[in-house]
Structure 1
Amino acid sequence: MSKPLPVRLLRYLLYLCAALLIALSILLWQAPGLTQRHLPGWLAKHYGLQLTLGKIEVALRAPSLTIGPTALLDEQQKPILAFEQLHLVPKLKESWQHKAILLEEAVLTRPTLDLVRLEDKKGEVRFNLTEALAPLLASIPASDPTQPVTEPLLVAITRVALAQGQIQYRDSRKNTSPGWVPPLTLGDLALQLPEFSTEATRSNPYRLSATLNKKSPLKAEGELDIMTGAGKGKISLDKLALAPFAPLWAPYLKVNLAKGDASAVLDYRLVQGKQGLGWQLSKGKLVLNNWQLKRPKGAEFARFNQLALTGIRLDGNKQSLDVDAASLKTPVISAVLDDKQQLDLADLLITQPPAKASKQQQTGKSKAAAPWRWQLKQARISGGNLKLTESSSGKPLARELTGLELTLGALGSATDQPSPLTLNSTLNQQSQLNFEGSLTPAPFALHGDIKQQGLPLAWAQPYLQDLLRIKVQDGLLTSHTKLALATDNKGALSRLEVTGGFDVDKLYVLDRADNQRLLQIERLQLSGLRYDGLSQQLKIGDILLRQPFARIEINEEGITNVQQLLLPRPGNKGTSGGPAPRILIDQMRTEQGNLRFADRSLSPEFVVDIASLAGQSRHISNIPGQRSELAFNGKVDRYAPVTIRGGTNLLIDDPVLDVAVAFTNLELTTFTPYSSTYAGYAIDKGQLSMKLNYKLQGNRLEGDNDITIKKLQLGEKIKSEQAKDLPLGLAIALLSDSSGVIKMNLKVKGDLDQPNFSLGNIFWDVLGNTLTKAITSPFSLLASLTGGTKDLDELPFLAGDPSLTPSQQTKLGKLAQALKERPKLSMNIRGKVNFNEERPILQRQKLERVLAKITGSPADLAQLEQDPPLQAALGEAYEAKFKEDLGDLADRLKLPKQSPALRAQAVLLLRDQQLITAKSLRNLAMRRAQNTKEFLVDTQGIAPERLFVLDSQVKETDKEAKVVLTLDN
């Protein structure tokens, strides 16, 4: 295997020097001038070397050789390699005895090397020096593996020194070429090699010092085997300015390094092995100091005081890199996140085109290069500062993380191993942020505890400004959560879980419409939080609200403040942010709450507080089909108890509600604004108790209101355009029992989608309708209050029968109960007949009385076919009336004699001959009214003076057999 180019070149130069020294030694005392005159020409002729050779001086008494200014020139006659003086002190006798080149001293003064990298040819790296020496190198025959190996000529120098040297490097290619390096100058070069020797396995100690780019001290010392290249030593470079190296990262980053330097120190080791010369670096340290990074237009975006990599170890054969620690001190980074969530730092990266595959890679014949193994034991950031201007709210907002302290444990090429991570910082000089957990690079995973304290919720206002008509005035958030974040091998999210809880202290929210308090919570405690980002599920164990206050208000236009909290966002119609997360809350508790309700649409305004509100809601969810359980207690205006029970789910697209609310002993004077607006009267006295049951399915609301009013007294009459003109005195008399108690059941229905929907308007409309019904349909009202049937105002009778049936008696019993409870009411009773249907029935009844006189016993024509005496009486009565017997009727009608059909015809003929007058029908109606009064008086105990039997006038248009009841005040 061929040796690396620098080693080969060095050996060839040694051979060249040895040849020159031998030639010069032969002519040492005879022909120095001849050598000076003819050697450059000979080298130019045979090897194409352009050499200028200085004056050669030979001393014989104390043998020495001094060569003056000498240079190797390129084709443009510019020096490539030159020196001012080469001074040699040979050991002639020892050299002859040992057949070697032995020198006492070799001193090279002011050597210079102008090294230029040329354009590559066919992938080969070319320099001006190798191009100049190419003919000479080509003349050296390659070693013949079939010939025995001969020992190289020994060269030993007691002292080798190089003084005031200089090396310049330039790359003539474009600065965008791969591997391009900016111009370098190595000045003040000094090299000391005591006891130099080319003897095999001989390590030559050396010491080198120089200045890189005129400012950065470079030092190296160690041992080197000149024949094999093996050796070891230490190298240091201090404060190298890196701005000139900008073209190296220009193809990849749009970054200007305004200032910054690098210092490095390391131990190296070069080892000759089976695979050639191997190298190792150890005890390395790389320090970057005082960096300032700017954008192409000059604005700073990052700076730091120091970045130090310590404990660096590199092994070229094993292809391994180990770093004990990476420490970054006081970094300051400024970034901008626009309203499209794009970070401006990403603009600094230059997208690289995909690398083209080689022919071997395309054919699959190439072997993949062995990967390097690397490991960083610890990384640390101290005193960091991140300045972020973000515009996700639509307006630029400054966010700053200060005092950033970050420690990251071991990282390496084994990317699936977790590394401990801790982070501490302060957000905007107010909120403390801490993280302690682990980081796995690939597949990426982040796990740990997040603690945050003292985050002002007022910072959220800009994000809510265009969404909600609220202003977050105050509130501090403290949280303690656990984060579990992971991706799969393709970078897709495989896990996102957040668990823990948070507290909010002294939350204060205003309604921006009137700048008044909308929501206030002394303390909110949330625990048992668990959010799964993959399944989009949010679970909360417990939410405790201490001393919460909320305000619900209806404005002058009848619109609630809750309806107007959500602000319209133009241009977002029909858009969807994906499925909403599934929410499950085990329970939400309230302590010492206060709910204020105000209706500004009334005159005067209505305001009521539900204070001391306490209770809980369990199993809150946005899952269709599930309902939360409500159980709350409170007091209205400090004294009247209120309870809320039921189930609800208001978090789904079609919300449902089934809740029962009970109020006890509310002072009715509080509701004067409503009675003034909708009834036209103030309330002077009274107490109200209600049991409300409301159900909401989708947008359809239904309510059932059981109302009890005690000692209601109306005050002055008030003019109101919305009030109905009703005789409320009569309505109250109808509704009030003997104790002055009114009990009602009001049912309300409404569609929340209707633009004019208002629960208050619906309720008062229903109440107004109930009062109207109390006046216009008092018996229906009594029926609803007593649980009776709706038709208490009428009692239907059997045709021709004045007697009360059991169902009529039951109905009258319920009516009597209502009359007893309302002693101020009296009742009118009027009998009615069905003229066309009841007249034939009365005629039949009169015929039965005629037949009964003949038989001497009661007659029932329904039993005619089973009663022979009654049949005989029928024939007698027929013959007496029509002067013919039934046989004649049979012959005339062609019916069999003694047949049922014949007797039926006789009954019809006799019935139609019975005279029934209007008086008879009136008597039937009067008997029905009288029987009704007698039942109420004798059986139900109603005072007879409260019951009035009205005259019953019979008309042919009467169509119903009944009793009609009416009430009077």
Structure 2
Amino acid sequence: MIIFKKLFSKYYYRSPIFWLLSLLSLYSAFGFLILPKLIHNGINEQIQIQLGWKTEIAEVKINPFLLTMTINELQIIENATPVFNFSRFHADIELRSLVEGAYTFKNIELIKPNINLSIAPNGMSNIQQAYLNQQLSEPPLVVSEEQSAPSIPKLLFDQINVEAGSIRINDFSQGEKIVHQLNPISFNIRTFSTYIEQGGDYQLNILLDNDQSLYWKGNLSLAPISSTGSFQIKGIRAHRLWAYLAKVSPYDVRNSEVDFSSNYSVSYTDSQLQLILNEAYVSLKNTNIADPQKTDEFVNIKQINIGPSYFDLAKQSVAIKQVELDTVDLDLTILENGELQLLQPLNTLTKQDEQIKKTNTENSNFLWSIDNIKLNNSIIHINDRSVANNANIRVRNINAELSQLNQSLANSQPFSLSFTLDESLTNEISGDITLQPLALQSDIKLSQIPVKIAQPYLEPFANIAINKGLFSLLGKTQLTNSETHGMNGSFQGDITVDDFDSQDTIKGRRLLGWEQIDISPLQVSFSPLRVDIDKILLKKPYSRFIINEDRSINFSQLTKNNSKNKSITSPTPKSAESTVININEIRINEGSTYFADLSLTPEFATSIQHLDGTIKGLSSHNDAPAEIDIKGSVDEYGMASINGEIKPLVDPLYTNINVNFDKVELTTLTPYSGRYAGYVIDKGKLSLALNYKIADGFLDGSNRLILDQFELGETVQSEESLDLPIKLALALFKDSDGIIDISLPTKGDMNSPDFEIGGLVMKALLNVMTKAVSSPFTLLANLADGDETSLNSVSFALGSSELSAEQKQNLATLASLLIKRPQLILEMRINVDSEKEAVKLKQMALQSQLQLINKDIWQQQEALEKFFIEQQGEQEFNDFKLAQLTVKESEPEVDQDELMQQYQQALFNHLVSIQPFSNLQLTELAQQRISSIKNELIKVNKVQNKQVFALHPTLDALAEKQTIDSIFTLTSK
């Protein structure tokens, strides 16, 4: 009570309460009234001095008793534009600052802070530029060395809280305006300190828009700088930051959401930065990458997960447990020049950049390892514009894995890959790969890949359309590469192509096809090249061979001879001689081929079906020939076979092949007979045996042609028909059973430029037929082991119709040939020498009348003289005799016996000359000769009468050596 009394007495100034109240009043007045004004003015003054900007503050409130300060509605303005503002700032200072020996804040709170930054093209922000401008306008301050290195004040914050903040950044540094809007920003920091040699625990939570967040927790020390803890970043829009990499990056990231979390330890001592990341995880979601010049992205990645990872900056090492890419959608475009479109942006890199990268790589001792790389459920769209019609290929369901990668590329890395190609089944490749030097061991399984995907690549070179086909492969591959031996490797496995079918694009007709080709097992060695195949199985192979209207062959039209293709030349193998090819067996099951000749009228078509057989022992380095045994049917009932030996893979070519056709219906060949023979084929069957022996470039063939019951029908008009008596030729060869059996030898030097193997049999047949019709009796004589002159004529003595024994034998031989060839017709033309044979007939008549044959010479003279007197009188006789026996003085002396012989001959000749004679006698002689020949052929040797015809006799023929020949000719029915 005494204390209070003093307070109200005149000695109040002696009261402690007075002074206490006075101090409290002054403290309150300063805290509530003066200090807010000072702070308000101080903020305005410092902002103006440092930045040259205006500041507007609605209210500054200080509670000196609670040690709190609140600032409401602060704005910092540049040119009427707010640069920084907030709704409320509140700070709560703790009295324990006296105990802690540091400025201790219980709570720092900032509500709705808003920052507007503008970054100029030179990279300076508006705050930096304003500060620089103010520094240039003020005289420089002289700062002592002690002042130049201020110490960090001791600060302790129990909690720092920011709510509903925002940052807007207008960035012009990249040549265009880039706007960053971060809002709302909220974070809370607990127990943060700046104590020297003492760290503090902290926790930072920053929430951004669109579910972006930063969580940071750990221990932080500022002197020295060090921190340990963990952080987690979620949902960062990486594509918004990509503009800052656009000048150095060839690609544009259109979208990517990044999550990043890790435990860390960082310190900065002695100018050395130490950083360790542990259990680090990076995740990129919905990443879209594009060519900056294109609208559409070329790759879309659903998610990339990297981690857990360990990084040590001091040791320059990073170890990643796994990199996983999920659902990669990649568009690959191959341009017209064959380059990948996605590689084009890389061309903008300068050689200097490449050299810098190369130098950095060479000098780098960075250690890295990735335990596992995985690619899941991905797809590649390939658009190949390098071919005429763009090729579009889809590689889907890609799953891949590569393990044990590190900076030492000499280690072996296991890998696996699976995918589907268009509509194929799952394809699998797995094994081990070493990059330096290259070494690969893999198992390959390709399942039913559509062969049709090769169509765009085949189209520029061939008029072939692949309709369908499925390619499969199962095997093992091994590759190695060394500086001394180069690339080497091998493949072992099986190959099949199922359900293949193709057509030519000119006519739109089926060309080649099969149900299945199975090559198993196949072994390939690459250096030197060697191919070993145990068996090739062709199930139901099919081919179509067409001769078009212009007589071109469909297979000859398959190749496209355009200028682009001509400029492409295949490289010559370096060592073709060392190539070894061995095929143990080729087996054909139920094969067929179709042949048509559209150049004929009517068109011709036939087919060979049910082809079955084998080719065994094909080799390019084996002297033993391969064995061929193939059989099939022609049309429905005819048979065909090929058997023999062949060495097609060695030089020179060797063959000993027999090709046989049996009982092939000839009526189907009517178009050919119409063109070349001028007749349709009425009936007949063909059997053909061909043998081709080729050795040392020389062909020696022996062929046999058999036509059974071959008959020609009506004539056909053809400009190409042969000018040959075809029916005669056929009749010459056809025997009594209706069989034509012809041997056709073929020979030729295959090294000769004039040699053509095509049509050898046809040429041989035409040659034989031409020779036959031009010299038919030569052909018959050869068949009878005789000579032509013994069969093509009959010789008669002058005036006689009698046949000698030799002539009868010749006629018997001819008869046997005619009997065997009932289609042949023998025509005989009897020749008579009217002059000589008239004399002969008169001589024969005189001898017969006077019966001179059985008389001696004197009796013959007596009979002739008597007959002379009877015919011409005694006086004529005496005169004739005197003339004949009188020797002229000029003539040499003649012996009486010789003179008498001359007389007798002259007497005989004179009487012959006066013998009566009629030309009818010559005709009768011709008829007698005809009868003699016919009798021998028909009656004696049983030739059909309808096969023998007599032509009109020739009476003006010329006899030789007291004989005259009657000529035979042959025709056919």
Aligned to 1:159: 158
Please give the alpha-carbon distance, in whole angstroms, between the structure 2 residues aligned to 1:367 and 1:577: 38
Q: Which residue of 2 aligns with 1:289?
A: 285
Alignment match, 2:464: 470
Match of 2:399 in 1: 405
Change beyond 3 A, Cα 1:597–1:568? same
Residue 555 of structure 2 aligns to a residue whose secondary structure is coil
Q: How far apart are the structure 2 equivalents of 1:373 and 1:655? A: 61
- Secondary structure at the counterpart of residue 417 of structure 1: coil
Structure 2 CA distance for aligned equivalents of residues 784 and 76 of structure 1: 128
Amino acid at match of 1:635: S
| 1:19-38 matched pairs, under 5 angstroms | none
Distance 2:757 2:315 in 1: 81
Native 8 Å contact 1:307 1:326 kept in 2: yes
Letter in 2 for 1:416: A
Return the alpha-carbon distance in structure 2 between the equivalents of residues 330 and 348 of structure 1.
24
CA-CA distance at 1:423 after TM superposition: 3.0
Q: Does 1:635 align with 2:636?
A: no
1:840 matched residue in structure 2: none
The aligned residue for residue 274 of structure 2 is 278
Structure 1 contact 271–277 (Cα < 8 Å) conserved: yes
Q: What do residues 245-275 of structure 1 show as CA deviations (whole Å, max 9, x unaligned)?
A: 1223312445444443222222111256788
Match of 2:499 in 1: 506
After TM superposition, list the pairs within 5 Å mapping 1:537-616 onto structure 2.
539-573=532-566, 575-579=568-572, 584=581, 586=583, 587-616=585-614
Residues 217-247 of structure 1: per-residue CA shift (max 9 Å, x gap): 2121111233222221111222122232122
* Alpha-carbon contact 2:250-2:348 (below 8 Å) kept: no
Aligned to 2:806: none
Give deviations 1:758-804, integer Å, cap 9, x for gaps. Answer: 945x6444323212312434576468779x89x98799xxxxxxxxx
Among 351, 354, 359, the residue aligned to 2:348: 351
1:236 aligns to 2:235 (yes or no): no
Task: Tell me the SS of whatever aligns to 1:579.
Answer: coil
Structure 1 632/115 Cα, relative in aligned 2: closer, same or farther at 3 Å?
same
Query: 2: distance between equivalents of 1:606 and 1:44?
Result: 106
With normalisation by structure 1, the TM-score equals: 0.64
Counterpart Cα distance in 2 of 1:216 and 1:90: 38
Q: Spell out the pairing of 1:836-855 with structure 2 (5 A cutoff).
A: none
Go from structure 1 to structure 2 and tell me whether the alpha carbon gap of 1:89 and 1:784 turns closer, same or farther (over 3 Å shift).
farther
Q: Please give the secondary structure, in 2, of the residue aligned with 1:279.
A: strand
RMSD: 5.9
Q: Deviations over 1:627-652 (max 9, x none)?
A: 75533223334544433234557789
Structure 1 alignment gaps of length 5 or more: 1-23, 145-150, 796-812, 829-942, 956-963
Alpha-carbon shift at residue 105 of structure 1 (Å): 3.9
- 1:767 partner amino acid: L
Name the counterpart of 2:689: 691
Q: Which residue is 1:221 aligned to? A: 217
Change (3 A) 1:746 1:676: farther
Instruction: Work out which of the residue numbers 89, 98, 111 in structure 1 matches 2:94.
Output: 89
Aligned to 2:771, what secondary structure does the other structure show? helix
Q: 1:90 touches 1:102 (CA, 8 Å); kept in 2? A: no
- Give 3-state SS (helix, strand or coil) of 1:244's partner: helix
Structure-1 residue corresponding to 2:743: 744
How far, CA to CA, are the matches of 1:45 and 1:475 in structure 2?
A: 83
1:309 corresponds to which residue? 306
Q: 1:517 aligns with which of 488, 510, 528?
A: 510
- What does the per-residue CA deviation read over 1:332-363, in whole Å, with 9 as the maximum and x for residues that have no partner? 2233323432322223445211337999x99x
Structure 2: which 5+ residue stretches go unaligned? 1-26, 792-808, 829-939, 944-956
Tell me, yes or no, if the aligned pair for 1:733 and 1:824 is still in contact at 8 Å: no
Deviates more, 1:744-753 or 1:598-607: 744-753
For 1:346, what is the secondary structure of its paired residue?
Answer: helix
Q: TM-score, normalised by structure 2?
A: 0.64
Q: Which range is displaced more, 623-632 or 434-443?
A: 623-632
* Structure-2 change in CA distance of 1:574 and 1:273 (3 Å): closer
| Equivalenced residues, count | 777
Instruction: Encode CA deviations 1:164-221: one digit per residue, 9 max, x unaligned.
Output: 59796979884389xx998685863534342746253x33110112245786221211
Map of 2:473 onto structure 1: 479
- Kindly tell me: are residues 777 and 217 of structure 1, through their superposed partners in 2, closer, same or farther at Cα, counting changes over 3 Å? same
Distance in 2 (alpha carbons) for counterparts of 1:244 and 1:683: 87
Tell me which residue corresponds to 1:529.
522
**1:281 and 1:649, CA in 2 relative to 1: closer, same or farther beyond 3 A?**
same
For 1:886, the equivalent position in structure 2 comes to: none
Give the Cα–Cα distance (whole angstroms) in 2 for the partners of residues 702 and 262 of structure 1: 78
Cα distance change, pair 512–627 in 1 and its aligned pair in 2 (3 A): farther
Local SS of the residue matching 1:342: coil
Q: Please give the secondary structure, in 1, of the residue aligned with 2:348.
A: coil
Aligned mates of 2:311, 2:178 — CA distance in 1: 22
Q: Give CA deviations for 1:284-319 in whole Å, capped at 9, x if unaligned.
A: 222222333444342243323322223132211122
Deviation at 1:477, TM superposition (A): 2.8
8 A contact 1:692–1:706 mirrored in 2: yes
Greater shift in the superposed pair: 316-325 or 495-504: 495-504
- Deviation track 1:470-496 (CA, whole Å, cap 9, x = no partner) reads 333333333324455677799x99357
* Percent identity of equivalent pairs: 21
Between 382-391 and 575-584, the greater mean CA deviation after superposition = 575-584
For 2:466, give the aligned amino acid. V
Q: Cα–Cα, structure 1 residues 309 and 528, in superposed 2: closer, same or farther, change >3 Å?
A: same
2:6 equivalent in structure 1: none
Per the alignment, residue 869 of structure 1 pairs with none
* Cross-structure match for 2:371: 377
CA, structure 1 residues 112+534, in 2 after alignment: closer, same or farther (shift >3 Å)? farther
Which stretch has the larger CA shift, 308-317 or 130-139?
130-139
Residues 172, 178 of structure 2: 8 Å contact kept: no
1:107 aligns with 2:120: no
- 1: distance between equivalents of 2:526 and 2:700? 39
Distance 1:286 1:968 in 2: 107
SS of equivalent to 1:94:
helix
SS in 2 for 1:248: helix
Map of 1:494 onto structure 2: 487
1:958 maps to what in 2? none
Quote the Cα distance in structure 2 between the aligned partners of 1:549 and 1:498: 29
Distance 2:621 2:141 in 1: 88
The one-letter code of the counterpart of 1:421 is: F
Please give the alpha-carbon distance, in whole angstroms, between the structure 2 residues aligned to 1:285 and 1:385: 25
Name the SS of the counterpart of 2:352 in structure 1: coil
Q: Which residue of 2 aligns with 1:801?
A: none
* Amino acid corresponding to residue 327 of structure 1 in structure 2: E
Structure 1 residue 90 displacement after superposition: 4.2
Q: In 2 relative to 1, CA 495–132 (structure 1 residues): closer, same or farther, beyond 3 Å?
A: farther
- The secondary structure found in structure 2 opposite 1:198 is coil
Query: Which region of structure 1 is more displaced relative to structure 2, 256-265 or 616-625?
Result: 616-625
In the other structure, the counterpart of 2:174 is 175
Q: Which moved more, 1:442-451 or 1:223-232?
A: 442-451
Give the 3 Å change call, closer, same or farther, for CA 50–655 of structure 1 in structure 2: farther
Distance 1:545 1:620 in 2: 16
Max radius of gyration: which structure?
A: 2
Counterpart AA for 2:765: L
- Structure 1 residues 823, 292: closer, same or farther in 2, change over 3 A? same
Letter in 2 for 1:389: N
Change in 2 beyond 3 A, CA 1:705/1:191: same
